[in-house]
Amino acid sequence: MAFCISRATRDLCHKNDKLKNIELKSTALIFTKSLFIGGLSASVAAGDTDLFSMSLEDLLNIQVVTTPSMYEQSIQSTPVSTTIITAQQINEQGYRTLSDLLAAQRSFYVAYDRNYSYVGVRGYARPGDFNSRVLIMINGQRINDNYYDSGFIGREFPLSMQAIERVEIVRGPNSSVYGSNALLAVVNVVTRNNDNTKEVRLTAGRFNTYSTEAFISKALDSEQQLTVSLSTYHSDGDDFVYYPEFDSPSTNNGVYQNNDGDFANKLFLKYTQRAFSFSAFYSKRIKDIPTASYGTLFNAQGTEVKDIKIHWDATLLHDFNNDIAMTWTFYGDRYDYSGDYVYDYPPVTINRENTRVDTLGAKGVISHQINSHHLMYGVEHRRDHSFQYENFDVEPYFLYEQNRGSQHFSALFFQDEFASGNHWLWTLGARLDKYSNFDTSFNPRLSVQYNTTDDSSWKLLATRAFRIPSLSDRSVTGDLNAETVKSVELVYEKLLTKNSNLMTTVFYNQIDNLISFRFDEDLGETTAFNSKSNVNSRGFELEYRYQMKNQLILSASYGYISAQSNNELVTANSPQHLLKSNVLMPVFDGFWNIGLNAQYLSERKTVFGDWAKAYFLTNMTISSTDDFSEKWQLSASLYNIFDKQYADPASINHTQTTIPQDGRSLYLQANYRL
């Protein structure tokens, strides 16, 4: 353009046998042959267990997840549809970024405008919305910035993929737990810890791309652990990008040359001592913009953006007794954005946009077990104690806009998960958010789960979520209402054999007061408005998973989505059909693994009224195993194997209706364990 609570609670559960036994005795929390939803426990995600060493039945006893409810629970008992992607899957499928990972998952699709990456969920992804309707977290701490509400998922994501233990993906609204921005989904990235590892990773690929990553996790003594991750990334990008909309001699015949560079540096550290933990990260990313967006001069060097993100958090866990745990988290965050945009007024002039927001906050959560009830209640206060925005011409200096101020909010939240009889599990929750400069929002959630005796389960979820207009939204147009979504979802899961399962879900979402943008020709500027037409998104999804010990791991999913509104602008970039397939299998006597993932997206309407064509992509990665070498892990990844020419819908800030994407690309990687 920030849950250590969950990790601390999980650690408590492992140390606190009595509390864990109470949960395990509840039939609704974990039943003997329940269902696999694509998730694995933390122990597997940490990399100490090879996925191929287990059958699906082996996994059923170790699946846990922390994101849906702010405490550890079996993935079968979560009130929402949840998936976990492990470090092993990240490496063996060749996911270079969080964007790559999400693109391969059920319900999700991504777009790239050669500046930032954007994620769509179940048919909604307004081009250029900065992912403000998806909450992105690292260790349970929000990383969406507090001016644009942008959630980074591409190269701008502030963490090296090497440092990730697992990614927990929660589909659907979750404001009853996390508040604003958890409108469509929550993505929580959990970092590696407690694995006493030293690694160096080198990557090289197309477009003069290379990166260096280093990871160290070391036990200082029996109670202290230190984790450090460093990375640097460089890519020249495509040196020849053609746009037919600019095909004239005055604009270099539509060719943008040598201005697609991407550069990033990232640092992450975490220190833990018994019940205390401290973590921090710093990231800086600079991206050249080769699209002439916002009416900038075509094929001009110097149009670029710079994003700097600094974050810290400290967490303290206190165990009152065997049934009550309280966690306090204190955090701080700074986001700096700077954009240089080259215009020819004339003369040629650089217009600069600067944004800075500083944040301090605290969150307290109590997890309490009473008989069959698992209670969670908490409080959060966040203060953006200083934000500033300015837009000006550099030389000669001319100030167009300046915005300064502060804002804060406080929240109370509560959840009760309890069993009723031998087959029913209920989850009731709600959150109240009170803002200094906006209306109070109340968001409840109800989930009912019925576990049958034939290895199947039904879940019914009804919830409400919201997103307040960002400071950026309100700087464009002050009089805006909060976006809201009302959602109903029915999920059925069936364990077919000890190696396979089937999941199907039907959902309906109604989004009201959706904030959109348009160019006002009378004012000569972009304005924001609440759409008077709601967006109705309905559809269904099917997912089949198969896992055979030492042979094959496979998942395949299909999603049908119908997103409708009288305002066609807000339903742009909405595919009706999503097809995904992921395969992992050992080859050459287990010395190597092959990962394949395929994605099909049907055509998508653009904000200009035409269509981005449907496409089918296939990616492949071959990677060595510990049987090949315990020190070296080698891999080769081929993306867009068949060199498919495809494009993503552009936003209203572009002249182009679509933005072309990269063709076939080869990347080589070497990881060395010291």
The stretch 98-121 carries a mean pLDDT of: 96
SS3 call for 396: coil
Question: Using 50, 70 and 90 to split pLDDT, how confident is the model at 476?
Answer: confident
3-class secondary structure per residue, 182-216: CCCEEEEEEECCCCCEEEEEEEEECCCEEEEEEEE
User: What is the model's pLDDT at position 201?
Assistant: 98
User: What is the model's pLDDT at position 54?
Assistant: 64
Query: If you write DSSP's letter for every residue of 89-102 in order, what string do you get?
Result: HHHHHT--SHHHHH
Q: Which CATH superfamily is domain 4-673 in?
A: TonB-dependent receptor, beta-barrel domain (2.40.170.20)
User: What is the model's pLDDT at position 46?
Assistant: 41
The stretch 666-674 carries a mean pLDDT of: 96
Write out pLDDT tens, residues 504-518: 999 999 999 888 777
DSSP state of 124: B
Query: Angle at the Cα of 408 (from 384 to 531), degrees rounded to 5?
Result: 100
The sign of the CA dihedral 607, 608, 614, 619 is negative
Which pair of structure tokens corresponds to residue 673? 């364990």
Torsion of the alpha carbons at 242, 247, 248 and 249, rounded to the nearest 10: 20
Write out pLDDT tens, residues 6-37: 323 333 333 333 333 333 333 333 332 332 22
Query: If you write DSSP's letter for every residue of 151-185 in order, what string do you get?
Result: ---STTSSS-GGGEEEEEEEES--HHHH-TTTTSE
User: What is the model's pLDDT at position 52?
Assistant: 63
The stretch 351-358 carries a mean pLDDT of: 97
What is the rounded CA–CA span in Å between residue 536 and residue 516? 16
User: What is the model's pLDDT at position 279?
Assistant: 97
What is the rounded CA–CA span in Å between residue 540 and residue 102? 19
Query: Angle at the Cα of 154 (from 211 to 204), degrees rounded to 5?
Result: 20
User: What is the model's pLDDT at position 550?
Assistant: 74
Q: Is the pLDDT of residue 321 over 80?
A: no
DSSP-H helix ranges across 564-638: none
Question: Using 50, 70 and 90 to split pLDDT, how confident is the model at 94?
Answer: very high
User: What is the model's pLDDT at position 654?
Assistant: 94
Q: Which of 432, 368, 555, 450 is nearest to 77 (CA)?
A: 450
Which pair of structure tokens corresponds to residue 73? 């629970």
The reported pTM is: 0.91
User: What is the model's pLDDT at position 230?
Assistant: 98
User: What is the model's pLDDT at position 452?
Assistant: 87
Query: For residues 123 and 575, is the Cβ–Cβ distance under 8 A?
Result: yes
The stretch 475-497 carries a mean pLDDT of: 89
User: What is the model's pLDDT at position 422?
Assistant: 86
Amino acid at 146: N
Query: For residues 212 and 199, is the Cβ–Cβ distance under 8 A?
Result: no
How far is the CA of 313 from the CAs of 5, 270, 277, 280, 605, in angstroms?
Answer: 11, 10, 8, 6, 41
Query: If you write DSSP's letter for every residue of 492-514 in order, what string do you get?
Result: EEEEEETTEEEEEEEEEEEEES-
Write out pLDDT tens, residues 529-551: 777 668 889 999 999 999 887 77
What is the rounded CA–CA span in Å between residue 510 and residue 446? 17
Overall size of the chain counted in residues = 674
What is the rounded CA–CA span in Å between residue 592 and residue 636? 11
Helix (H) or strand (E) holding 7: helix 4-15
Question: Using 50, 70 and 90 to split pLDDT, how confident is the model at 473?
Answer: confident
Q: Is the pLDDT of residue 596 over 60?
A: yes
How far is the CA of 406 from the CAs of 330, 386, 389, 469, 555, in angstroms?
Answer: 19, 5, 12, 15, 47
Burial 151-171 (b: 16+ CB within 10 A, else e): bbbbbbbbbbbbbbbbbbbbb
User: What is the model's pLDDT at position 55?
Assistant: 58
User: What is the model's pLDDT at position 478?
Assistant: 66
Q: Is the pLDDT of residue 96 over 90?
A: yes
The stretch 645-666 carries a mean pLDDT of: 95
Residue with tokens 């395990």: 24
Mean pLDDT score of the chain, rounded to an integer?
A: 88
What is the rounded CA–CA span in Å between residue 579 and residue 557? 6
What is the rounded CA–CA span in Å between residue 201 and residue 203? 7
User: What is the model's pLDDT at position 333?
Assistant: 97
Question: Using 50, 70 and 90 to split pLDDT, how confident is the model at 210?
Answer: very high
Q: Which of 411, 448, 360 is nearest to 178 (CA)?
A: 411
Boundaries of every domain in the chain: 4-673
User: What is the model's pLDDT at position 12?
Assistant: 31
Query: For residues 193 and 144, is the Cβ–Cβ distance under 8 A?
Result: no
Q: Name the least confident of 113-122, 367-376, 406-415.
A: 367-376
Q: For residue 327, what are the β-bridge partners? A: 317, 365
Write out pLDDT tens, residues 230-285: 999 999 999 999 999 999 999 999 999 999 999 999 999 999 998 999 999 999 99
The stretch 136-147 carries a mean pLDDT of: 96
Share of the chain above pLDDT 90, in %: 72
